[in-house]
Amino acid sequence: MAAKLARSQRTATRGTPPGAGGALLKVGDLLANKYRVLRVLGEGGMGVVVEAHHELLDQRVAVKLLYQDVADTEAQSRLLLEARSAAKLQSEHVARVMDVDVGPNGLPFIVMELLEGADLCQIADARGAMPRWLVVDYMLQALEGLAHAHARAIIHRDLKPSNLFLADRPDGSQIIKILDFGISKSQEGTPDRRAQQLTGGRTVLGSPPYMSPEQVRSPKSVDH
């Protein structure tokens, strides 16, 4: 039942027309005087990810932006939290954050490495169950990225198939990359009060079908 619900939610999201959430982006737009929008890669309930061309470095990147009509203070803080958390990680199994800037609407956006491929949720929906040996391979790669994050006191808190991306490398091989540190938390040093407000308390943070009982009971104290 949980899997059916997750699929129906994804289907509803995919049916949303580009810009319906108020992103007001179109092909050719220039963000921060250097990122030229090329195409929409995907959309969710909070924002949109587009492929862009870095005009100064002649490089293709992915840019994650919030919809204007949902970009309250908390949503913007979560986006910046995601950028800060991912920027601290240098694992090949974590999607790399390259820049953070502000768009013409005054909202922050994240610039990330551009990944070619599909997430494990899309792959499972298209192909069905994967061979056991392949699942083990993908999970071991994800665990390498997780171990790297945990060694730097960062807890992801939203691991699920749609946040594990099977990326194509230039040499034809593939690699698992962990995405979306938007509800992660840091256990390092003195906790940031704003981050605590965003990720602590009794608020249910995560995706219920994939959460441990410990995370449901206490998202603030959950650890690696």
Which sequence positions are flagged as catalytic? 158
Closest CA to 114 of 52, 67, 36, 38: 52
Q: 3-class DSSP state for residue 127?
A: helix
Q: How many CB atoms lie within 10 A of CB 86?
A: 23
Q: How many CB atoms lie within 10 A of CB 82?
A: 21
* Cβ-proximal residues to 149 (8 Å cutoff; 6+ apart), any chain: 85, 89, 91, 94, 155, 156, 178, 184
- CA dist., res. 119 & res. 105, Å (int): 30
